[in-house]
Amino acid sequence: MRKILDVTLDPLIGLWLEVAPGVSDAQTDFSVGVLDAEITAFGIGPVGGIPAKSRLAYPVLGIKGEFAGKAFSACAAKNSLNESTACFCKVEGIPHGIFLGNYLNEEGMNSEVMLLPFIVND
């Protein structure tokens, strides 16, 4: 599975991550999380720029837990993501990794998750 990842760092709006599945890996729902940082807002929109408005289906923000031995913060929604539609996440802190998975099941868990760890010099 190839994923699209882009970063926007702006002194006025902060750090935003853009995450989308690659060509032929469309998802009908999603969750996105960061390791050792916090997602404080999220939305969906066209790949290539943070959307001014976003309509989310069954959004969940503030998911917390542990993944790969690190604390994580995540969000989820039942919107489709594909090579032209991405999830945009506002992040506080310096993330040590990011993951993209499916929407949460009844127990609040994911059945499919792809982790991209970052190399961070603290």
Task: Enumerate the domain spans of the chain.
Answer: 3-107
Higher pLDDT, 108 or 41: 41
In angstroms, what CA-CA distances link 79 with 13, 27, 121?
A: 24, 8, 35
pLDDT (0 to 100) of residue 52: 93
- Average pLDDT of the chain, as a whole number: 86
Question: pLDDT tens for residues 43-74?
Answer: 999 999 999 999 999 999 999 988 878 899 99
pLDDT > 70 fraction of the chain, expressed in percent and rounded: 82
Indicate if the pLDDT at residue 87 is higher than 80.
yes
